[in-house]
Structure 1
């Protein structure tokens, strides 16, 4: 989806949770939106760094064994190849930016909480 969009409205229109929708590209990075529910998601890892911005609700995440509680406007950077299950009670809307494989090689696998964004 190119041009103007409201990520939360796009996610709210999905019939199911845990299915992301591609909104566009920024350089080589993919920008997606995802609506979650309170059910946990098994541990997964991706070949690229992920930026997870909580638009509303809550995300209980456990990257590399470190529990993180994120709420609206919190941003978490999950390094490439870092296992990260989603814990129960993680209902809300996420904006996800997937990194570029070429630039992720050799990065440390420690999760980072980037803090709150400005409204």
Structure 2
């Protein structure tokens, strides 16, 4: 029998910041979790929207000319083509829903960019991609 999982617990157990892990799939999208602190990078996803849901902490999504601030239990969708920069002043746990074609840091590559193969590896709790 399939067992439910806790996205928050999996995110909290991740050993690295800014290294999302795939915990599920919904049609052509991945469900990912990440443990973040600091700044990722200004980037955009030209053909994909990106959903951010805060599990714990506060996430600020900087936009050109605006900012969206999310607390635990809040979500926001970054529309495709929108330049954005996720920032967490303190540690924050997030759940992301992205198309499988979405590149981690979009149109830029930094030392925080993670390939999908790395995002698909099993989490510390032993949960990899689940259906």
Q: Which deviations, in whole Å up to 9, do the C-alpha atoms of 1:32-87 show, x marking residues without a partner?
A: 001111x1222011231011000110001113431111100111010112111123
Question: What is the match of residue 14 of structure 1?
Answer: 14
Q: Larger relative contact order (C-alpha < 8 A, sep ≥ 6)?
A: 2
C-alpha contact 2:29 2:98 (8 A) present in aligned 1: yes
Give the alignment's Cα RMSD to 1 decimal: 1.9
Cα 1:3–1:49 shift into 2, 3 Å: farther
> Which 4+ stretches in 1 moved above 4 angstroms?
none
Q: Which runs of 5+ in 2 are unaligned?
A: 102-131
Question: Which residue number in structure 1 is paired with residue 82 of structure 2?
Answer: 82
Q: Which residue of 1 is the match for residue 97 of structure 2?
A: 97
Question: Contact 1:49–1:79 at 8 Å: present in 2 too?
Answer: yes
Q: What TM-score do you get using the length of structure 2 for normalisation?
A: 0.68
**Gap change, CA 1:66 and 1:9, over 3 Å in 2:** same
Tell me how far 1:88 sits from its aligned partner.
5.0
